[in-house]
Amino acid sequence: MSTTTARAAPASDASTAWKETLAADEEARFAEYGRRFAELQQTRSARQGAGRALHRKQLLALRGRLEVLGGLPEFAAQGLFARPRSYEVQVRLSNGGMDAVSDRRPDIRGFAFAVKGVSGPGALGNGPTDTQCFALINSSKFAFPKSDEFVEFVLAAAQGQGALLRHLVRRYGLLGGPKVLVQLLKSIGRPFSGFPSETFHSAAPIACGPYAVRVRLVPEADAATSGDGGAPAPGPQMWREQMSAALQAGPLHYRLELQPFVDERRTPIEDASVDWPTPYTAVARLTLPQQSAGIDAALQASAESGVFDPWVALAAHRPLGDVMRARKVVYFVSQQGRGATTGG
């Protein structure tokens, strides 16, 4: 049995007819996810020092500014993007894994940022918020449709390759298990050119007022080409050094874009493994000014101890779908486990 919330559709391609479908066992199941991730985090922290359950390795913390554009279409001109304005931003770049290991290892890369100085009811429903967080990755979709498969995968992977393969065979069959593993390795191991030139995605949807959207961050031409100062291209273990060199040479610019929900078939809310086909619309420009990245120890420490959680958001941009609802519980447990500070 499930419960469903829905919206009525207007006459445009961007529709408000999206819906969330909540399974009857979600509360108990997500609480169990949180408990198991807390155990995983505690085990890793005992060996590596306090840190996140995932995205443990922080590469850089940076300061920036977000300029909201004017003249946006109705589906986009909501919440944070309702009117042109400039906001201070704190950025955290990271590797996605549960261990702080060499950047040589294939991994998902994270580009999270907290927009400061917003004002309005918070997505968590516990009062107003002054921060809007975006947690983006270098993949346009998740490897799994829903949270259960992802959680089981991570917990099995934490026990080693043998345990992971056994889990995949049990879940997907003798032939399907290895096939899923190959697909996952291809996804994680796809070439990564670096933070100045890669595009990052929310992969799962959020609300945008009465609409639903996915988010991406696209480097502008100067961001993709500037900043090496004539130095040789860094190896795959030098993402921090590459970004630092780019920012020492000059500012980097990115477009923040929104992609609207149009219908459940093409743009499903509850299946995070579907890459929506709808076009993106630019809504803001993120500028990372010229800076000596990594020099400001206080900034690095603030990001390391802080919160970059998509649920630290305006109610107008509440995260949507099973994966996002599971993240609300698991992120909060992780924040408690590392004694996180609030607001970033």
**Dihedral in degrees, nearest 10, Cα atoms 295, 298, 301, 303:** -90
Which residues touch 184 (CB under 8 Å, ≥6 apart)?
A: 143, 153
Q: What is the pLDDT of residue 84?
A: 98
Model confidence at 302, in pLDDT bands (50, 70, 90)?
Answer: very high
Q: What is the pLDDT of residue 143?
A: 85
Q: How far apart are CA 131 and CA 118, in angstroms?
A: 6
Specify the amino acid at residue 49. Answer: G
Q: What is the pLDDT of residue 173?
A: 85
312: left (phi over 0), alpha (psi -120 to 50) or beta: beta
Domain boundaries, the chain: 2-338
Would you identify the CATH topology of the domain 2-338?
Answer: Catalase HpII,  Chain A, domain 1 (2.40.180)
Between 159 and 200, the more confident residue is: 200
What is the H or E stretch that residue 3 is in?
Answer: strand 2-6
Please say if the pLDDT value at position 184 is more than 80.
Answer: no
Please say if the pLDDT value at position 225 is more than 90.
Answer: no
How confident is the model over 258-276, as a mean pLDDT? Answer: 97
